Structure 1
């Protein structure tokens, strides 16, 4: 069976399994995988196109990528997945894990900081930041809608995808600024986060900037102040370290190459990892829930 078809079949089976899970999880997994299945099917149609222009373009892009940047992005992705695993175990399965403070909280912040820093760095190498930015904002809106409907109270307002999308749209404004000035602006933006966090306002219109009411809550929240400062530092780092836009590090390690490969498919893995984690954890820790839901549906009862 061709790899693309195998992926589609696997996703289809996981969608079916999601219907056996508690209703909220089922909605999350189903909506995510339907979207991802469409993306995979689109990729399959490209691969079978007789012209193959798109495939040639993708191969050239892969050859131009800097290995060490993909490695850093892949490392951030792995750290983020570990943090989300700890979060899921604590929130959904009542494990005694202090994910919101201490070493685990630091793990999440390190992952986010590295992720944003690398995003700023790699934006200097991209020629389609506007398209990428709009795509990230669009996916961020999808995640917001899914979480709002499927998991009430766990809204994601201006999460990391929407944040990065806006940063990419703002890139043309700062791309020609000296790296040293960017470092200064970035530091000022990061320090400004202390001001926005302490200021109490009566509305949430400026939530993307970091101004919010005392009762504002978002499971995943990355306001421009202070996080845009980290993105600006990434742009500055690119100007200082990669003035010729050529790679500096090479490695033959299979493990590191595997991590770098993950870094080349960040968006796909990001969209996929949380529903897969939840589905797997429910199968491990609450398999009876699948059968209970199946029995309830067959008897015509409603699951809340």
Structure 2
């Protein structure tokens, strides 16, 4: 199958993986509402298991988004659309539930990352997929704890960074979180854009085998969910809120 045909079809297993992850996200956010908005105790959710659950969702989504970037026929349009919905969610949460306000959440990150990578795509195309994959993954690891004032990963601090970098809302957007900043869903550009780029270069590594071997025709319930993940993300929290209002 010629590469250009890939842009006209969908890779079903990617949609299925996205669909499975969107289900996991809905249940995770349902538990968040139960624990933090309705005061139910669930120590397992606040502990290591809950953290791993949350990380599995966001890491999967970001890797898939980076992987699919080169299959997107209109990345600028998509980036602007997702950025718009990120702004809408910030405004709505600020009005409806200020204690759970979302500033620089996952949609804002997605939209900005797509636009940034679009601007730099010609440069990235000159980098070997293997080299880009290794460098991107390495940069994600060493900048994972950037918001905590250092280069580090999983609590291991490699290098302390000066306080002046963490000074305002603009630095917070990039990952240098200013003191006192709060968001119930915070995904700054750094380190997460490096994970996005890990997926981006991962696509290049497996591109030829994808074009030869993947079945594009069959569809499943999970793949249908995956195709509409943005709509589900936007609507799931209002629907959960309505459900819990009826229950509680």
TM-score range, shorter-chain basis?
Answer: 0.7 to 0.9
Structure 2: segments with no counterpart, 5+ residues: 150-160
Q: Which structure has the greater CA radius of gyration?
A: 1
Bigger drift between 87-96 and 198-207 goes to 198-207
Structure 1: segments with no counterpart, 5+ residues: 1-59, 286-304
Partner of 2:227: 264
- The CA distance in 1 between the partners of 2:171 and 2:134, in whole Å, is 24
1:166-181 aligned within 5 A: 166-172=112-118, 173-174=120-121, 175-176=124-125, 177-181=127-131
Partner of 2:41: 96
- The CA distance in 1 between the partners of 2:180 and 2:104, in whole Å, is 16
- The CA distance in 2 between the partners of 1:183 and 1:61, in whole Å, is 21
1:73-222 aligned within 5 A: 73-98=18-43, 99-172=45-118, 173-174=120-121, 175-176=124-125, 177-186=127-136, 187-198=138-149, 199=161, 200=163, 201-222=166-187
Report the Cα offset of residue 250 of structure 1. 4.7
- The CA distance in 2 between the partners of 1:76 and 1:220, in whole Å, is 17
Bigger RCO (CA 8 Å, 6+ sep): 2
Bigger drift between 87-96 and 109-118 goes to 87-96
Report the Cα offset of residue 252 of structure 1. 10
Pairing 1:238–2:203 present: yes
Partner of 1:17: none
Partner of 1:33: none
Alpha carbon RMSD of aligned pairs, Å?
2.4
Partner of 2:155: none
Report the Cα offset of residue 171 of structure 1. 2.1
Say if 2:146 and 2:176, in contact at 8 Å, map to a contact too.
no
For the residue of structure 2 that corresponds to 1:181, the secondary structure is helix
Report the Cα offset of residue 74 of structure 1. 1.0
Moved over 6 A (4+): 60-63, 251-254
Report the Cα offset of residue 61 of structure 1. 9.4
**TM-score for the superposition, normalised by structure 2:** 0.82
Pairing 1:70–2:33 present: no
For the residue of structure 2 that corresponds to 1:206, the secondary structure is helix
Q: Note closer, same or farther for the CA distance 1:143–1:195 as it changes in structure 2 (3 Å cut).
A: closer
- The CA distance in 1 between the partners of 2:109 and 2:190, in whole Å, is 10
